[in-house]
Structure 1
């Protein structure tokens, strides 16, 4: 696998880690949280089919080796369907590409 690439636990797609949601079981407290933290982590595509399969088959819980609170799933579903008044998110690939160019890597 290429550096900074990860695999979705649901569909098994490989892509840059910025293309996925990161779910972490924090090492010290064993709490599950989104995006940041040190500990066991899994990556999930921001797609309805991947989130639905991960929730139905408890793929997050099995991969993290702990129970995943329902609030985590609720937050992920909210990210998937933003509120009508919310501004659209910038494309992560464009952000990553621009950062690479600024660093002289592109």
Structure 2
């Protein structure tokens, strides 16, 4: 992956009051969007280990089927506008038809 540049999309439903990258890394209000912040940190570690870079985009939706097409992160993945989803999501049958899942990164209670 040496030198590869990936496009990643992260779901944050409320617009942050600071630049997006800063919001994901600042240790304030950590109870908000904690799994997305966790995944962003995980991507940072993978970036260093595998020597790639990434651009992170924000969306408000994980991806729901509307009028035969997905919106949000699933829509961007299915249209190949981004390479990787930066937020965890539930496995849903209709999503599985259009994207490939990787692995669980966060275990909820």
Higher helix share: 1
TM-score range, shorter chain: under 0.3
Q: Higher relative contact order at CA 8 Å, sep ≥6: structure 1 or structure 2?
A: 2
**Structure whose CA Rg is larger:** 1
TM superposition score normalised by structure 1? 0.24
TM superposition score normalised by structure 2? 0.24
